[in-house]
Amino acid sequence: MSEYGLVIDGKKVPTEKWLEVKNPATGEVVGECPVATKAQLDEAVTAAARAFRSWSRVPDEERVQAVQHIAGVIEANAGELATLLTREQGKPLKGMGSEFELGGCIAWTSATAALQLPVKVLDDSPRTRVELHRKPVGVVGSITPWNWPLMIAIWHVIPAIRSGNTVVIKPSPYTPLSTLRLVELISEVLPAGVINAVAGKDELGQAMTEHPDIQKIVFTGSCATGRKVMGSAAATLKRLTLELGGNDAGIVLPDVDPAAVAESIVGGAFINNGQTCAALKRLYVHDSIYDEMCDALAAVATRIPMGDGMDEGNLQGPIQNKMQYDKICSMVEEALEMGGKALCGGAPSGGTGYFYPLTIIRDVSEGCRLVDEEQFGPALPVIRYFDIDDAIERANRCENGLGGSIWSRDLAKAAELAGRLECGTAWVNIHGDIRPDVPFGGVKQSGFGVEFAQEGLEEYTSVQIVNIARGEGL
């Protein structure tokens, strides 16, 4: 079994305490997660603060080259990282699984390397030149979840490094090993202290959000934890980027051919076994095609093989942890008790591992948890509607606002309706299409700030105005 350590100031650091990390498909121990002490967190922050003094002054082209080098290192080690990711997270190697996630890591890193932060000239008159400069903020604290641990680590870390900041990252205790290994590899091509990794339970994350020498926190996770992050960061007035939960609604208009869109809808709902913030989590279907749509969705879902992710024939894996598994079980059970009908799935698979079959539940509506709350797992409620204005109102009634989608042959009408959805991203005839060149973020209780593209890079900077008087006689 490989040994994993913290990464502090360019060195692999052991700890006195460890947590077992288990494969959710088999229950086997994958490795031991080092548990950082508060003193070790302080060491990591100190190293990052020290490195910031020089890294923030490195010529921009050198930082571009460093990020490009990181992309090459990830690509060279993608096989090792993908296997480790599958073993600790459960997602399959193939399909939209671990190899796909590593491909995304490479693509996002390469795209971020190409972004620039040019000086913006606000006034260039004979008397005055006024420039707007984007400057790095300092030490960035990154707290990542267990569903896409490597991809989201890259989303946090790479723009921070690219813009001249330094980083301390804390992965989820459910999936820490692949992130620790990734940071170990990245640290080999960067100056000591530019990137550091600590690991541990939730209290370590709180210590990061309270730490006086961390200037910004980037957090991806649940709304409840996001509120705690915001509260504990308030005393030091940290900058925050919060990408929180979503309960994304899709609305299918009556002009849609159910057989033509069923595969895309199932893909949008069950990517990563539904354990994705921007997955489609509620589907509103017009009464005139409701029965046909339900049958088409079930037909697609039942064809998708599920099992141990190390078997390359499987395209879905287990739910990652028991807490989430129990939540799915209880939410589906309640929906069925309230009159919902399972067209496929609807009960635990049994046997070893946290496997729950892809589940389509019809004849449910608002008032049950499977509709009102984010399930974050492989169960999709299909809700009947009669009037499009009512469907839009019901979709917007949710406190979340991450993503949403409209499905229709009439693209102009669909785009108009998409604009009425209260969410950060509204898709038409697709759901969950996230790209490195397009900003992504939520509204309402789904957080604030954006990631990706130019706007996402600017989140890691502060604005400095340089105002130059050109008067004579000075």
Distances from the Cα of 227 to the Cα of 211, 217, 232, angstroms: 17, 13, 9
Residue 6 near residue 180 (C-beta atoms within 8 A): yes
Residue 24 near residue 319 (C-beta atoms within 8 A): yes
**Selection from 419, 434, 152, 437 nearest residue 278 by Cα:** 434
Three-state SS at 440: strand
Torsion of CA 448, 454, 459, 460, to 10 degrees: 150
Cα–Cα distance measured from residue 396 to residue 377, given in angstroms and rounded to the nearest whole number? 21
Distances from the Cα of 179 to the Cα of 84, 184, 249, 474, angstroms: 10, 8, 31, 55
Distances from the Cα of 111 to the Cα of 105, 209, 385, 437, 467, angstroms: 10, 28, 41, 7, 32
Cross-strand pairs, 196: 168
Exactly one of 33, 105, 223, 277 is catalytic; name it: 277
Exactly one of 43, 184, 243, 459 is catalytic; name it: 243
Question: Catalytic site residue 368?
Answer: no
Q: Which residue has the tokens 């000086």?
A: 119
Residue 371 near residue 398 (C-beta atoms within 8 A): no
Question: Catalytic site residue 423?
Answer: no
**For the chain, what is the largest distance between any 2 Cα atoms, rounded to a whole number of angstroms?**
85
- What number of other Cβ atoms are within 10 A of residue 117's Cβ? 18
Instruction: Give residues with Cβ within 8 angstroms of 86, minimum separation 6.
Output: 92, 93, 97, 98, 309, 310, 317
Active site residues: 243, 277
